[in-house]
Structure formats: structure tokens, C-alpha cells
Amino acid sequence: MRPSLKQTYLTTVLVFWILSSCQAPKQETQTVAASPVSFTGSASCQGCHTKPFQDWQQSDHFRAMQEASDSTVLGNFNDQTFVANGITSRFFRRDGKFIINTQGEDGRNHDYEVRYTFGYFPLQQYLVDFPGGRLQATRVSWDSKANKWFLQYAGQKIHPRDWLHWTGNGQNWNTMCASCHSTNLQKNYHFDSDTYTTTWTDINVGCESCHGPGSRHISLVKSSAYSQGEREVNSGLVYSRDTLPRQQLNTCAPCHARKSDISASLLHSDELLDDLIPQVISNEFYHADGQIREEDYEYGSFSQSKMFHLGVRCSNCHNPHSGQLVKTGNDLCMSCHLPKYNTKEHTFHTVNTEASECVSCHMTSKVYMGNDVRRDHSFRIPRPDQTAAFGTPNACNSCHANKSPDWAAKAVEQWFGPKRPYHFSDDLVPGSLLNEKSEAHLVALLADRMQPAIARATAASYLANIGTPSSAAALVAALKAEQAMIRYHALRALGEFPPDSWLQAAVPLLRDKVRAVRIAAADLFHQLPAESLPASAQADYQKADAENRQYLEYQTDFAVGNVMLGDYELQGAKPVRAIQAYVRGLQKDSLMNYARFNLSAAYNTVGKNDEALKTLQEAAAIDPRNDRTYYNLGLLYYEMKDVPKASQNFSTAVRLRSRIPGVYFNYGLLLQQTGKSQEAERVLLSGYSLEPNAENINYALAYLYFQQRKPAKARKHAEVLRRLNPNNPDYQEFFRVLGL
């Protein structure tokens, strides 16, 4: 039972959200036209599409990015000074150029020339040239509503070495922003030199950003065959006005979703996950019920809604060219809904007041980027009862802040009766707690084909934290789900389970029809010896693994992308390459401690424990409250045969109330080995109280009590083992002796 250094692998999901319906009626497939030869620029569309072109010129898309000039720069550069969080910035003109004097990456103030404007309303940022082809977006921005300078993240004093500093990777235009603010954006990141040669066709979001390259369309409409009535699907474009709802949503989602891009090579298929991986609605970025919390954009919310399920598309509410609503106020909602919903009998508020607007109850809002008000597009019914039980927000108390959630819940009961219609959050919220009752909720939601795919995929992602055979079985069953997002996250979650529970079932997904699913399957098998795969699947694995590596390499201009690649190399028994990737990631974000955990594991693998120790000590200096740092230090010191320091670091992790079962397991074993059985019992029981389903803790307690000849106590924990992992050969003799 000697503890050994555990390698910590980072499971990363960048991004962002799913286009897949609940159990929606099947739609016809509409074939996408063959890729046109080239982009032609928005100006080529004006002659035939005058009104859409004029609408577009008034839109935020048109103003998404522009060269800095007197007509495009909104900010006051007449020698203005702005102070925020102890940093003084000055805005002035010099030789006709717009200059910002502010804190640079070295912590000192410098003059920076504004090259481009970024955005227009309600705020405008500015882009500054940096070496290596980089453009960086300023965080001191112009408030277009109040006509003043402001700091988007007031109260956050960000160190110049922080990833989020305006000169850092988190505010790098090429990586974070460019693809959604310009047309035909080619990032062109060069891994070896860590530089960019980024290009675009149109500097802003032009016609071809949505409709696809236009050269084939132009050739088609100019042809004699076209004038004689011969037509082609989508008129030679990727997307036309007659495209199905699913394809329109696929067109909007890449820029209106929190997501990670898979490749620079877009497939433009009917399946969103061929080109990007949307973020699920877990409590990492959303509230536990799926309401927006972080900067989540619209797609992750909309894909939860009944409207999404019933085929409502973005253009039903928004003019796709101007970006404006097609109607105002409740008139927009009454386009589809019965007039009875626009009465006091439904809203219980006076008609024609803000409180009676549909959006006040069904599309709550939140401010992002300092002054940008965005509405939640999940169109949900307020649930103050969930607020009372779980602390999730609700529309009622967002207005009636002086009242309690119980007060609001009782009002809803008086109006609509004591029972609330089922919503997937009734399972997702308790499932997100990851306690002893969570599994039943998550398994039920994952299996419910009537619920939104994004909610079911979120349930799959949570099940990764519940290591029971029944959770594994539910995830294996989900590998056959119709929606790609569910299959994708089931594969990701199965990485936390023993391979024998999923190996046979996962093999067919190496040749799944959707690229993201093939990538996830390849990543799952990458951690196994090559001989684990049947010979008939080797070719499929090699193809899927090549896609996986391409996906990982495409992320390497991003700090966390290097960690992802490092994990891949470490799992593939290439620790030297892993070290290189982790070091590159830390060069982009020096405060990224989880990269240090993985880096220390890689150093340990190649026998460089001094470097591993130094890396973890740096992590402790940066974040002295991180329990994982001390857990890893304890493991490393034990391996280096420094038992006192190992014990000291394990103790610190316990004192920080770590929820890592390995902390209590390894510390308990160490105490037991050094003859401190009572203290070992206390530590193990502390871990058990925090994680009652942790297999290793239950095993350690059962073994401890068995040694102490306390069979009743040993049996209690052995019964947990039998429930969690009944076929484990290491437990069989244990079960037999204890009469199980």
C-alpha cells in the first residue's frame, strides 16, 4: 500500500456549446453546396442585395473592427487622463495618431499607438500592435452610452504577468477575438516561432462571414443557365435565406457560443461539432440550473429552450443584417404566442410596464464587460423554489430584492398552483452537487431523450466525478445517443473510469461521423497501450488520433492549449515533449498553476525530482491556499524519502479541507505506516465524510478496521466497495473473509 506520485492530468474543455435538439422531429437534410473558389468581399454583394447591404452598414457586425480614424474612434483622445486600480492611463493625439499611455507588460507605463477600433456599442475597445504579429485589446475602454473612459473589470487589479493583463494571452486578439470580428480570418499561428501572420478578407463581419465565400454564387447568377431558371441548392453559398433552422443556428453559433474551434479547416457540415466544441452548461461557467453566469453568449442558453426544440431560429426575432429586433417589446413575443400571455391575468403586473414585459420574467439579464447588458436566451420559467432550495437566481427576486425566495415561491404557487412543471434543472441542480444523491438525478437526466441535448451532455460531464459501475453503464449507453454532443461528453467522462468498463463500446466511435466525437474517442484510447485496441480498429484509431493531434496543435497559441498538448504527450509516454509544452504554456500564463502540477509530474517521470520539487514550490508561492499543491508535494517528498515533509504537506492539504480523496488516502496510509493508527483513522474518516463514495478511502478504512479486528466497522466500508466495484479481484478475498 505504498503511496506513489500521482500524475495529474488536466481535462480541458475550451469552450463552449451544442447545437442539438431535445427529441426533436427529424428534419430533412439540406445538402450544402460545394465550397466556392474564393472570398470576394462584401462590396461585391451590394449591387444585387441593396437593402440587406444598407441594413448591414448600420449593424454592430459592420463596426466589429475598423481601422482607427477620426470617423471610427469614439473615445476622447484630447489629452484625457483616467485612473483605475492604481494605474494611470492617458489618451492623446500625436502626429494624427491615437496614443494610449498605460501600464505595459513590464509594469511600467509606455505609449501605445491604436491601430484598430474593436466594437462600437455599448463599448469600444482598441487594438495595439505587439511584436510577433500580435494585436492586444485594451481593457480601459470607451463607454459609448455614457461617453466616458471606464475599466471593464472594475476592482480587479491584474498583475502584468497575469494571463488576463491586457498585454497577455487572455487579451490577445489573434487567439481570443479575431475569428468572430473579421471575415475569412486566417489565424496563421506559427508554433516554432510563436508568431502570427493573421489575415482577413473583410476587416469586419461581412456578408461572407455568414453566407460563405461568394465567388461561386457570383459566377452562378451571371451564368446563362441561371437566367434560364436553372437553380442550385443555396445558390452556390454555404448558407442562404432558405436554409433550414439547424443550418442557420450552425451559422450563428460559432461566434455566439462559448466554444473551442477544432481546426482552421472548416467542414461546414450539418453537424456543429464537426467544426467546434460548445461548452456545456455546468456550474463552471453557468449557474447550476443552466442560467448564464460567466460570459456565456447566447447559444448555450438558447439550445436549452423549447424554442430551439421547436425549430425557432435567430432570424425569427432578429433582423440578421441590421441585428435589430424585428418587433419591439411584447409585440415580438406575441408574433407566436397567444394574446392571453400579454395580460395582467398572466403576468400579475400592470400592463405596459417594465414588470409586465415578457423578457423581465423569461429573459433575465446580466452585465458583461463592464456595461454590456445581455439577456439569457433559455426563455425559462422563474423558479424561486429552486432559489430557496439551492441558491440559484430567479427573475422574481432580481426585481424584488428586498423579498425572500420563499416569498416569491409562495406567490408563484398562489398564481399557478402548488406543482411546477418538470424542467431538466430539477435533476441538473441536485446532480451538480456531486453528493450521494446526485448520481440518480444525473443518470435519469442523461437517459431522458425528451430533454435538451446540452443538459444531458452536462449530466454526462458531471458523472465523470461519480466513479460507480452504474455511472459507467449510463455513460456507455449514452455513446449511442443520436446527438453528437452527448456522445462527445460521454467519451470525455469515461476517461475517469476503468478501461474495461468502456473499451468495447467506445471502439466504434473512432469512426463516428462527427469530427469532435472521433477526437474524443482517440483521446480516450491514447492513454492505453496500443495492443489494447483490436487490430481491426487500429487504422480508425490512427486517423482519429491524427485529427486529435491537429486539434491540440491548433490550440497551442492559447496558454491552456499547451497544457492540453502536454497532457497528450505525457499520456503517450513522451514526457520530454510534455515538459516542452507545459513550459510554453507557463510562458504565456506564468500564474497557471495547474500547468505546474502536470509539469512536476513530467519532471518526476524523467527522474528530475529536483525540478519537480522546484516547480511545486513555485506553485505554493503563487497560491498558498491551493490544497492540490500540498498534496502533490506530499507525494513527491514521500517518493524522495522525506517522510516528515511528506506528512507536513499532507497535513496542510487536510487543513485546507481538500476534497481530493487521495489526500486522505495517502496521508492515512502514511500515518498508519508510522504507527499512528488513531490519527490515521481520524484523517480517513474526515475524507470519508467529504467523499463517502471514494473507493480508495473506503478501502483504506476497511483494511484499517480489519487489521484492528473490528469486522463490523470493516464491513461497512467493504459494502461500499462491493457497490462501487464488485468485480475488482483485489477485493474478493476481502469480501469472502467479511462474509460479503
Contact (Cβ atoms closer than 8 angstroms) between residue 596 and residue 586: yes
Give the type of residue at 130. Answer: F
Q: Answer yes or no: is 213 within a domain.
A: no
- CA dihedral sign of residues 331, 332, 337, 343: negative
Contact (Cβ atoms closer than 8 angstroms) between residue 286 and residue 27: no
Residue closest to 235 by CA, chosen among 268, 213, 203: 213
Q: Answer yes or no: is 523 within a domain.
A: no
Residue 604: give its domain's CATH number: 1.25.40.10
Cell of 523: 483521446
- Among 567, 597, 622, where does a domain finish? 622
Contact (Cβ atoms closer than 8 angstroms) between residue 471 and residue 443: yes
pLDDT at 10 (0 to 100)? 28
Q: Which residues pair with 116 in a beta bridge?
A: 67, 127
Q: Answer yes or no: is 606 within a domain.
A: yes
Number of domains forming the structure of the chain: 2
Cα separation, 542 vs 521, in Å, equals 11
Residue with cell 466513479: 467
Cα separation, 483 vs 681, in Å, equals 46
Do the bridges between strand 140-143 and strand 97-103 make them parallel or antiparallel, or are there none, so unpaired?
A: unpaired
Q: Answer yes or no: is 449 within a domain.
A: no
| Cβ-based neighbours of 56, under 8 Å, separated by 6 or more | 42, 62, 206, 207, 321, 322
Q: Answer yes or no: is 106 within a domain.
A: yes
Of the CA atoms within 13 Å of residue 433, those in its CB half-sphere come to: 16
- Among 148, 169, 196, where does a domain finish? 196
Q: Global pTM? A: 0.89
CB atoms within 10 A of CB 667: 29
Give the type of residue at 544. Answer: A
Using alpha carbons only, how large is the chain's radius of gyration in Å?
A: 28
Residue closest to 473 by CA, chosen among 439, 434, 509, 516: 439
- CA dihedral sign of residues 560, 565, 566, 570: positive
- Per-residue b or e along 121-139, where b marks 16 or more CB atoms closer than 10 Å to that residue's CB: ebbbbbbbebeebbbbbbb
Instruction: Tell me the residue range of the domain where 172 lies.
Output: 65-196
pLDDT at 18 (0 to 100)? 29
pLDDT at 730 (0 to 100)? 85
Counting every residue, how long is the chain? 740
pLDDT at 226 (0 to 100)? 84
pLDDT at 36 (0 to 100)? 52
Kind and range of the H or E run holding 88:
strand 87-94
| Cβ-based neighbours of 626, under 8 Å, separated by 6 or more | 593, 619, 620, 656
pLDDT at 570 (0 to 100)? 95
Q: Answer yes or no: is 201 within a domain.
A: no
pLDDT at 156 (0 to 100)? 80
CA 159 to chain centre: 24
- Among 181, 196, 211, where does a domain finish? 196
In this prediction, the residues of the chain whose per-residue pLDDT falls under 70 are 1-36, 242
Q: Answer yes or no: is 171 within a domain.
A: yes
Q: Answer yes or no: is 560 within a domain.
A: yes
Q: What is the DSSP string of 286-327?
A: B-TTS-B-SS-TTHHHHTTSHHHHTT--GGGTB-TTT--BSS
- Per-residue b or e along 477-511, where b marks 16 or more CB atoms closer than 10 Å to that residue's CB: ebbebebbbbbbbbbbbbbebebebbbebbbebbe
Would you call the peptide bond into 122 cis, given omega within 30 degrees of 0 as the criterion? yes
| Cβ-based neighbours of 494, under 8 Å, separated by 6 or more | 464, 472, 475, 476, 501, 502, 506, 524
